Amino acid sequence: MDRFAQMAVVAAREAVAAAGLNRDVWDGNRVAVVIGSGHGGLPFYDEQAAVLGERGPRRVSPKVGLLTPVSGAADSVCRDLGAGGPSFAVSTACASGTHALGTALQLLRAGACDIAIAGGAESVANRLLVAGANQLKALSTRRDDPAAACRPFDADRDGFVLGEGAGVLVLESLEHARARGATVLAQLAGYGAATDADATVAPAPDGAGLERALRAALADAGLDGADVDHVNAHGTATVVNDLVESAVIARVCGQGPLVTSTKAMTGHTLGASGGIETALSVLALRDQLIPATANLTSLDPGIRVEVVAKEARPARLDCAVKTSMGFGGFTAALVLTRA
């Protein structure tokens, strides 16, 4: 099992246990698994590429084709938990985890499953991946103070810091959850997706794709931009991303939502970020507390939304939004409401 799949399995186990579920109390054939990842099993691929170069093709592990694909995480979670329902791997770069959760919501609505285990996982323990991100000029160059390097929405931001991990959630219909006496933490009320077809590395300057995704998610939830209390933004701390994203939020939701980016604390976990940050949005709704945007000391004057900085802020939260953007122009948004 590659590192990204290991993290997905651990996160899925924790989510299932927290939901009071296990293979003894569910019909495994009605349990779906949807896990997103931008890169899949790069560490194992890297290891076996070295074996190929040093020892020849006969010494390469036959597991290369099994452990390195993006599907390896969903496969591993299914086998570990005994889930026999629909399963998918989603790979839309940094929007993968968010798209995975949206896909899981659609499966539940279609009646294809009773429970969906969904989120994202990513390992960046790979020199090639780090070097490539550096060549894109996407990484912060603040080597003297790594903890303060990622500065979303700050006037002095210069890129993100890579992180790795997994965020997995348990989704089920409200009726199914109530029937088994589950504690509902939040409701996933809407999902939207769109593409900036002409954008590969940077979002479209007008943020058209993200705006379409956000408006679609709100329409799916039967809500309006004015209903949004909190946005956990993609917030990568690149100059272009933060300006474009904040402008979209302001256009769609006005000045009301309190915005944060948690990537300054977690690093940019790429395909896992949507899962991790949606989980943080659920906790914000549950605890009525918005996490701060770390390292934000001087707000870029071009940012037209209110960003929570310095310390977590208590607030009345009934509706939260998670936005994601990925290289290739992929955009996604989720709308969550208080349980």
Domain containing residue 214: CATH number = 3.40.47.10
pLDDT average, residue stretch 133-142: 92
Q: What does the pLDDT read at residue 290?
A: 99
**Catalytic entry in 39, 99, 230, 268:** 268
Residues 6 or more apart whose Cβ sits within 8 Å of residue 80: 9, 12, 13
Residue 268 is a catalytic residue: yes
CA-CA distance, 126 to 228, in Å (whole number)? Answer: 38
pLDDT in tens, 124-137: 988 888 999 999 88
pLDDT value at 171 more than 80: yes
Residue 150 falls inside a structural domain: no
Q: Dig out the tokens for 173 from the structure.
A: 């219909």
Q: What does the pLDDT read at residue 64?
A: 85
Pair (99, 219) in one structural domain = no
Residue ending a domain, choose from 173, 204, 230: 173
Q: How many CB atoms lie within 10 A of CB 184?
A: 13
Q: What does the pLDDT read at residue 173?
A: 92
SS3 81: helix
Give the predicted TM-score (pTM) of the model.
0.95
pLDDT in tens, 83-133: 999 999 999 999 999 999 999 999 999 999 999 999 999 999 888 889 999
CB-based contact 296:264 (threshold 8 Å): yes
CA-CA distance, 217 to 322, in Å (whole number)? Answer: 10
pLDDT value at 67 more than 80: no
Q: How many CB atoms lie within 10 A of CB 122?
A: 34
**Catalytic entry in 39, 78, 94, 319:** 94
pLDDT average, residue stretch 48-73: 90
Rounded to 5 degrees, φ, ψ at 139 are -90, 145
pLDDT value at 46 more than 90: no
Residue 78 is a catalytic residue: no
Residue numbers of the domain that contains 63: 3-124+163-173
Q: What does the pLDDT read at residue 63?
A: 86
Pair (169, 258) in one structural domain = no
Residue 234 is a catalytic residue: yes
Pair (196, 61) in one structural domain = no
pLDDT in tens, 286-315: 999 999 999 999 999 999 999 999 999 999
**Catalytic entry in 39, 234, 253, 319:** 234
Pair (197, 110) in one structural domain = no
Pair (233, 103) in one structural domain = no
Residue 95 falls inside a structural domain: yes
- Mean pLDDT, all residues of the chain: 95
Residue 151 falls inside a structural domain: no
Residue 158 falls inside a structural domain: no
What's the structural domain count of the chain?
Answer: 2
Closest CA to 292 of 306, 280, 307, 308: 308
Rounded to 5 degrees, φ, ψ at 187 are -115, 130
CB-based contact 126:152 (threshold 8 Å): no
Q: What does the pLDDT read at residue 201?
A: 80
